[in-house]
Structure 1
């Protein structure tokens, strides 16, 4: 963005509070992404003056011209992160700097305006403080935060938008698995491609998601919950549904376990949970017993390991569930069975990773990954 244009400035924030506060929904009745708080954050942009004054206003519809470029040419991107209540009643956002950095990468890729990450984090903090009564205090519950950036220029024709809108809405959510872990069945998918080298698979664009629904529906007809996306003639494993993929393989020669996930080559999303898992694994797992690898791994390698009893466990990772255990992968009409703990719905590392991350998210263990916003009684 040109240095002559106004940047986002949290000091210019104005707040209009709702005159019709919503009734809180009981925690046990929360459905992911279906209820929202009283307010939203809006920041307009135009190429003449730059970013306008941020405003927090009552949650409500947006007014957009039918010829708006977001509707016709997919000038849209978003992020997903969470905030938590700690045992002091304060608000903790988990690694928001990572989300903002990724959001700026996405914006730059589709010619939408970039912004100062710290200023937007401050503004989201103000929104959370205003609507903090909606943030559940119980473990397993949180506030899902959805920052979105859209091109709002009116008129047909493909060109760089001269107007844009950054807005943030918040939704209180409960545990992804209300009755504990539920391991899923995946269909290894090679007839459709989620992303390709030189494309935008590593950007969080809305246009990446809609094309994945049809293959997911096809997999569901065959009894699978998600797709395990394969790529290339080597059938490399990339992502699972909308999550990053991890598996644990045993090396019978050394006796070590190898935690494997695909490398950041531009075809997979740079997941914040993925990064957290890799960082914690390298810090906390015994290097005499574990190898942590970001490398290509084919579905044939996984099948071969499973046949030899060397596939230890597998899971997906993402903001919504943190980790999602996998119990089976369908491939070429055959089932690759993934071990679970006896009588449980996950493997041991899957459980350990969830505990590591949740204790950081809720502030049970202090970490510079949390951005804390104090709530004044």
Structure 2
């Protein structure tokens, strides 16, 4: 039985998994909190793997440093997560498309008022079985080009997975829903630069005048979260374009992959000229989320999608990436749990 006496670190843990914190804990007052999200998969032979956990630990340490929380040994935490997954492996469904979602979290727990680096913090991990994001096939989403609000700004916290980044977006998403859109597309500055799709990274595919297909995503300029799925899509696309590792089903012809600023003016012009091939978001939950409509300045831009809801680039990349994640395609990104 665990003690209910005050904990010198500022919190009490209980046998049922709950955490008791002092009302003055710094996480409540100064948003000293952050988290990560990754998944564990079970393949057809029962082998359990995690997908690129080193990337999550690197980003988590960067987030911790940004809000003056302590950094930690990422490899040690990965080993602890492996031990947890081994204990809870019966929670990983053995059905197609299912996985175990893993959320490492860190919060400031010092019981004190005053803005300063907390002298106590708690790092913990929770898990939950999750099913396929699209249970009945891909459903392209409609986005509302948000110019009234800004997700992040240069020199701010947009590049970090902090709790403070998420609550302000909920109201904005509700407003987009009232207008008939599923999610908001965050635009920034007077030129309306594309930044992120809700809580996902944005990708646009243009057909250039010479017929070359260009896969574009905004650069990591301090406003963009360095997504693990974003990095994976870029790496796979570049390996395909260079001929190093061709992806089955990708369009024939020249393909270039670019990290550069993109404005809605460029997106709109490409749509009007029939050169906007597709638009999609990437993230841990959905992997790839296709977009078929963007509301912008009072009108809708319509984006092509295939009969299955996906596009000519996103479909083969999604299939290949999910193949790696689920163990069907051997790759160094899959880290064995046992």
TM exceeding 0.5: yes
Q: Please state how far the C-alpha of 1:72 moved relative to its aligned partner.
A: 0.6
Q: Report if aligned partners of 2:137, 2:308 keep a CA contact under 8 Å in 1.
A: no
Deviations 1:21-65 (A, max 9, x none): xxxxxxxxxxxxxxxxxxxxxxx996xxxxxxxxx9865210111
1:247 aligns with 2:204: yes
CA distance, structure 2, for counterparts of residue 45 and residue 142 of structure 1: 37
Q: TM-score, normalised by structure 1?
A: 0.83
Q: Secondary structure at the match of 2:20?
A: coil
Q: Secondary structure at the match of 1:348?
A: coil
Q: Report if aligned partners of 1:185, 1:329 keep a CA contact under 8 Å in 2.
A: yes
Q: 1:307 aligns with which of 260, 272, 291?
A: 272
CA distance, structure 1, for counterparts of residue 117 and residue 226 of structure 2: 25
Matches within 5 A, 1:134-149: 134-149=91-106
CA distance, structure 2, for counterparts of residue 246 and residue 101 of structure 1: 23
Q: 1:350 aligns with which of 314, 317, 337?
A: 314
Q: Which position in structure 1 is the counterpart of 2:63?
A: 106
- 362-371 or 282-291, larger mean C-alpha shift: 282-291
Q: 1:277 aligns with which of 221, 233, 250?
A: 233
Q: 1:325 aligns with which of 278, 284, 290?
A: 290
Q: Which position in structure 2 is the counterpart of 1:232?
A: 189
CA distance, structure 2, for counterparts of residue 57 and residue 250 of structure 1: 57
1:223 aligns with 2:180: yes
CA distance, structure 2, for counterparts of residue 151 and residue 322 of structure 1: 30
Q: TM-score, normalised by structure 2?
A: 0.92
Q: Report if aligned partners of 2:36, 2:103 keep a CA contact under 8 Å in 1.
A: yes
User: For the aligned residues, what is the CA RMSD?
Assistant: 1.8
Matches within 5 A, 1:82-121: 82-121=39-78
Aligned residue-pair number: 322
CA distance, structure 1, for counterparts of residue 293 and residue 23 of structure 2: 45
Q: Which position in structure 1 is the counterpart of 2:34?
A: 77
Give ranges in structure 2 of 5+ residues lacking alignment: 2-6, 244-252
Matches within 5 A, 1:1-377: 60-252=17-209, 254-285=210-241, 289-341=254-306, 343-374=307-338
CA distance, structure 1, for counterparts of residue 162 and residue 148 of structure 2: 22
Deviations 1:216-266 (A, max 9, x none): 1111000001110011111110000000000100002x1100001000001
Q: Alpha carbons of 1:78 and 1:59: their partners in 2 closer, same or farther (altered >3 Å)?
A: farther
Q: Secondary structure at the match of 1:63?
A: strand
CA distance, structure 2, for counterparts of residue 338 and residue 45 of structure 1: 56
Q: Please state how far the C-alpha of 1:354 moved relative to its aligned partner.
A: 1.2
Q: Report if aligned partners of 1:77, 1:149 keep a CA contact under 8 Å in 2.
A: yes
Give ranges in structure 1 of 5+ residues lacking alignment: 1-15, 17-43, 47-55
Q: Please state how far the C-alpha of 1:116 moved relative to its aligned partner.
A: 0.5
Deviations 1:302-339 (A, max 9, x none): 00000000000111000000000000000011110000
Q: Report if aligned partners of 1:80, 1:145 keep a CA contact under 8 Å in 2.
A: yes
Deviations 1:79-115 (A, max 9, x none): 0000100222121000000000000000001010100
